[in-house]
Amino acid sequence: MKPSNDITRLLEIMAALRTPGTGCPWDLEQNFASIAPYTLEEAYEVVDAIERGDLADLRDELGDLLLQVVFHARMAEEQGAFAFGDIVEAITKKLIRRHPHVFGSTKILSPEEVKSLWDSIKSQEKADRRATREKMGLPPEAHEAGFLGGIPTALPALTRAQKLTAKAAKVGFDWPEPSQVIDKIHEELEEVKEASSTGRRERIEDEIGDLLFSVTNLARHYGIDPERAMRRTNAKFERRFRAVEEALGKQDRSLNEASLEEMEELWVAAKNAERP
């Protein structure tokens, strides 16, 4: 078996890995649920490569993500559900259907009109999907129920919170001004303090969740992706903490040997060093 830039070779390799008796024992024992965490992980690694600006790594990570699609497709084919070709056909149909301004006779549209058209088409797709399930005698999809339906529960929590508030805003359920969201954040922070005084973990968790939800809503008002903002802050924390560790290392000392005050001083120094 030789490598190739033809997708057919990747499908052949996956089929070989899943062939009972001659395939890979690990690959053979996997199912949709066991592979799902790897699919999410590979998607995150693609984003990580993009944010680092590493195109060589991006090529490899996109390959890993493609493998996940092929893996799921192979398992579905084994069950007689669908194959890789069906996935390709489904997405090409969707792209053509959702872009009548490119592939149809619809006039040239502005970006805002394209977004409105996209939402309209998606709503119709949702209705068609419900009708199809009814004809087949299948129950409605739980995650599709109500106006907020259709937002995957497996999304990162901050991303899902942003999508929920954005969708609710379409029918006017939203704070008109960011300042009002900031007031809400202060209110939620006070409720965290009140919950903390009770010592009840469940209540504290609920109030912290409300606080994070409000902060995510504020990010949306400013057009900021909360997940990206959090990743940047994580990277900043790691960078500055590493600077503290390195500064102590130059003194032949470890983190365990430094006081909080000393580490704080080195942290401030690292922070100031980053300023232009």
129/190 same-domain check:
no
239/205 same-domain check:
no
Q: Does residue 150 lie within any of the structural domains? A: no
Q: Does residue 148 lie within any of the structural domains? A: no
The pLDDT value recorded for residue 145 is: 65
Task: Identify the CATH number of the domain in which residue 40 sits.
Answer: 1.10.287.1080
77/13 same-domain check:
yes
85/165 same-domain check:
no
The pLDDT value recorded for residue 135 is: 78
6/65 same-domain check:
yes
93/113 same-domain check:
no
121/81 same-domain check:
no
Closest to 158 in 3D by CA, of 114, 79, 211, 86: 211
How many domains are contained in the chain? 4
Regions of the chain where pLDDT drops below 50: none
Rounded Cα–Cα distance for residues 217 and 139 (Å): 33
82/125 same-domain check:
no
Q: Give pairs for 50-57: CB < 8 Å, separation 24+.
A: 51/228, 51/231
Q: Does residue 151 lie within any of the structural domains? A: no
Its domain, for residue 253, covers: 228-274
Q: Does residue 242 lie within any of the structural domains? A: yes
Rounded Cα–Cα distance for residues 9 and 15 (Å): 10
The pLDDT value recorded for residue 49 is: 92
Q: Does residue 37 lie within any of the structural domains? A: yes
Closest to 64 in 3D by CA, of 92, 34, 44: 44
The pLDDT value recorded for residue 142 is: 55
Final residue belonging to a domain, choices 207, 224, 241 = 224
206/162 same-domain check:
yes
- Measured in whole angstroms, the distance separating CA 127 from the mean position of its chain's CA atoms is 25
For 55-88, how does the pLDDT look when each residue is reduced to its tens digit (9 = 90+)? 999 999 999 999 999 999 999 999 999 999 999 9
Closest to 156 in 3D by CA, of 41, 237, 261, 74: 41
The pLDDT value recorded for residue 144 is: 62
Q: Does residue 16 lie within any of the structural domains? A: yes
| DSSP-based three-state secondary structure for 31 | coil
Q: Which pTM value belongs to this model? A: 0.67
